[in-house]
Amino acid sequence: MSPTDSLTNLRDDLGSIAFSTDTRKLRTKSRDRFAESPVLRDLLRGRNAEIFIAPRDKDELRTAVAACARHRIPITVRGAGSGQFGQGVPLRGGAVIDVTALSGVLGWHGEPGRRLPTTVRALTGTVVADIDAAIRPSGWELRMHPSTARQATVGGYIAGGHAGIGSCRWGILRDTGNITALEVMAVEEHPRLIELRGRDVNTVHHAYGANGIITEVELPVAPAWEWHELVVSFPEFEQAARFSVDIGSSDGILTKVVSPHAHPLPQYFPELAGLIPDGESMVLLMAAVQSVPNVEDLVHANGGRIRYRCLEGKGTYGAPLYEFTWGHSMLRYQRHNDKLTGLMALFPQQNLYETIVGVHRDFAELGPLHVEMKRIDGGLSCQGSPVFEFVCKEQLAEVTERLQRAGLFIANSHTPVLGAGGMKPWGPKEIAAKREFDPYGLLAQGKSDDTEDTINASTALPNNGWSYRLST
């Protein structure tokens, strides 16, 4: 049967489920924020789905998935399209299935005999910020969320993300206990729903939807403190780094984001530039109200000054402060200069301050340093890199090797291929899940299993990837 016949039969099988083959629609729904990578801008442009499908509920999703399985149509599952690595781009055509209509908080669960929630469960298409809005009246919130919380779906965050706001206290998503459960739909002619718990959730987490379609997510919650946003300046970046490591190491101080930016990066944020004297470095911080006096002490001890403070989301800069950190930082840097780029380097926990300062000093000719403080495997670390103008892929390879010689671990953020990225372990458990949940190999084709694929070859860097103490 020809591909055209397969698509015709697929459309017939969809019945009343909304779909489109409009060229403009397909182009729009086959993109995410991959254009932040200069390597991916041209490589992924023009890679579009052949049909866009928008199920309204889980039953319609099951019908669409079953039809794709019968006719062997490749599937790319899409949420809000806020990923940065091409996670939502169909590399080999087929169907893009939009799950944003599968939304809503299903409820929260607590300990027997107590009314306090310990986890919250939501459908995959629920916007992350909407989950917090639903549970905050009870005095609880999600432990962490992406900087795109106001756009990203929770299923997309789990499938394509790895850390975010809150990671400076709670670690990364794959750290034990940060994902309670996932419900996954298998791509079969009679699709099953499978519940994953414990360490099994990491088999599907950050797999770009390659080994199962996430339909429900259950996450742990934390007390919803009154969070304050603080913009802090330091005459020297070494002081900003010392403060960031000190506050990250202070377990008694409740923080949600600690984001250092070396000079002149603060000037790349028009909304914040007026708060930071030219020539100084900056730390963006969110802290619980009861911890603010401790923050003030550490700021003063390290020679800094608090330039602005407000309640969460109430700043004069027009957005929550976390939208100037993590993935949003590069987005804003590129508004200043669209040639700017960086690498996803994980700093070693041992001698963390010394390593940060060493990279800042030794790579000064390349560009200013931006990192995000986070915990991982139970210890304090950070991720980021110098921010520099992109010249060519060979330059990225050279910088990758230099950073690795400096003791950093590099994940390739300029590829949509999991193996080339090096952040997601793709071992026997992942391969077995792929075989069980996607027996026809239809999900996220080209992103997990094609070592000879031209995209893999054209985006590969000499990166060593990340490793985890608990790598199951």
Does residue 114 register a pLDDT over 80? no
Cis preceding-peptide flag for 38 (omega within 30 of 0): no
* Structural tokens at position 374: 């986070």
Contact 168, 121 (CB under 8 A): no
Contact 420, 37 (CB under 8 A): no
Residue of 81, 103, 65, 47 whose CA lies nearest to 160 = 81
Pick the CATH number of 227-411 from 3.30.565.10, 3.40.462.40, 3.90.105.10, 2.40.170.20: 3.40.462.40
What length is written for the chain?
472
Looking at residue 406, its pLDDT comes to 97
In angstroms, what CA-CA distances link 438 with 75, 94, 446? 10, 15, 14
Residue of 413, 425, 449, 412 whose CA lies nearest to 204 = 425
Q: Which helix (H) or strand (E) holds 3?
A: helix 3-14
Query: What is the mean predicted confidence (pLDDT) over 111-122?
Result: 74
Q: 2: pLDDT confidence band, cut at 50, 70 and 90? A: low
Looking at residue 116, its pLDDT comes to 66
pLDDT (tens digit, 9 = 90+) per residue, 353-398? 999 999 999 999 999 999 999 999 999 999 999 999 999 999 999 9
Lowest mean pLDDT of 134-138, 146-150, 261-265, 398-402, name the range: 134-138
Looking at residue 457, its pLDDT comes to 82
Query: What is the mean predicted confidence (pLDDT) over 95-108?
Result: 96
Contact 73, 117 (CB under 8 A): no
In angstroms, what CA-CA distances link 29 with 53, 90, 435? 10, 10, 27
SS (H, E, C) 365-432: CCCCEEEEEEEECCEEEEEEEECEECCCHHHHHHHHHHHHHCCCEEECCCCCCHHHHCCCCCCHHHHH
Ordered DSSP codes for 118-132: EEEEEETT-BHHHHH
Q: Which helix (H) or strand (E) holds 355?
A: helix 352-362
Please state whether beta strands 105-110 and 117-123 pair in parallel, antiparallel, or not at all (unpaired): antiparallel
Looking at residue 111, its pLDDT comes to 54
Q: 471: pLDDT confidence band, cut at 50, 70 and 90? A: very low
* Structural tokens at position 307: 């330039």
**Residue 266 neighbours by CB under 8 Å, 6+ apart:** 233, 272, 273, 275, 276, 280, 281, 282
Share of residues in the chain with pLDDT > 70 (%):
96
- Beta-strand ranges (E) seen in 138-265 are 140-142, 181-185, 193-197, 213-223, 227-234, 255-261
Q: 455: pLDDT confidence band, cut at 50, 70 and 90? A: confident
Does residue 470 register a pLDDT over 70? no
Give me the phi and psi of 306, to 5 degrees please: -75, 120
Separation of alpha carbons 231 and 9, rounded Å: 57
The neighbouring-strand residues paired with 308 are: 231
Residue 357 DSSP one-character state: H
Query: What is the mean predicted confidence (pLDDT) over 64-68?
Result: 98
Does residue 36 register a pLDDT over 50? yes
The neighbouring-strand residues paired with 181 are: 197, 218
Query: What is the mean predicted confidence (pLDDT) over 320-342?
Result: 97
Looking at residue 96, its pLDDT comes to 98
In angstroms, what CA-CA distances link 377 with 170, 193, 205, 253, 385? 10, 30, 16, 19, 20
Looking at residue 109, its pLDDT comes to 79
Average pLDDT, the chain: 94
- HSE (CB half, 13 Å, CA atoms) of 414? 27
Contact 271, 317 (CB under 8 A): yes
Residue of 457, 347, 445, 461 whose CA lies nearest to 413 = 461
